[in-house]
């Protein structure tokens, strides 16, 4: 239980934001599974995933370097290096 009104408000805000971020992370995981699970990677699908990663990193949902790492691996997959 929060000791002050402002701490109670921060707790409510934190819970609300965590709920919103959970949806974004879930969508990212779904897009990643679809793009990596396909026999032949679809360029359009990967482009959508890269855009979603950039937006999540911009909003602070995932770390910027984590987004860059995932995008790098997707581009390697698309070019056929892995």
Q: What percent of the chain has pLDDT over 90?
A: 70
Q: Using CA of residue 55, residue 59, residue 64, residue 70, what is the dihedral sign?
A: negative
Q: Please state the CATH superfamily assignment of the domain spanning residues 5-79 in this structure.
A: Ribosomal protein S20 (1.20.58.110)
Domain ranges of the chain: 5-79
Predicted local confidence at residue 82, as pLDDT: 58
Predicted local confidence at residue 27, as pLDDT: 95
pTM: 0.81
Query: What is the secondary structure of 8-52 as a DSSP string?
Result: HHHHHHHHHHHHHHHHHHHHHHHHHHHHHHSSS--HHHHHHHHHH
pLDDT in tens, the chain (82 residues): 889 999 999 999 999 999 999 999 999 999 999 888 776 778 888 999 999 999 999 999 999 999 999 999 998 888 876 5
Q: What's the rounded Cα separation, in Å, for the pair 18 and 5?
A: 20
């Amino acid at each position: 239980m929060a000791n002050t009104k402002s701490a109670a408000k921060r707790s409510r805000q934190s819970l609300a934001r965590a709920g919103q971020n959970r949806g974004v992370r879930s969508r990212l995981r779904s897009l990643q599974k679809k793009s990596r699970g396909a026999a032949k990677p679809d360029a359009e699908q990967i482009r959508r995933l890269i855009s979603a990663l950039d937006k999540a990193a911009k909003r602070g949902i995932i770390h910027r370097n984590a987004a860059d790492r995932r995008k790098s691996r997707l581009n390697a997959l698309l070019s056929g290096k892995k």
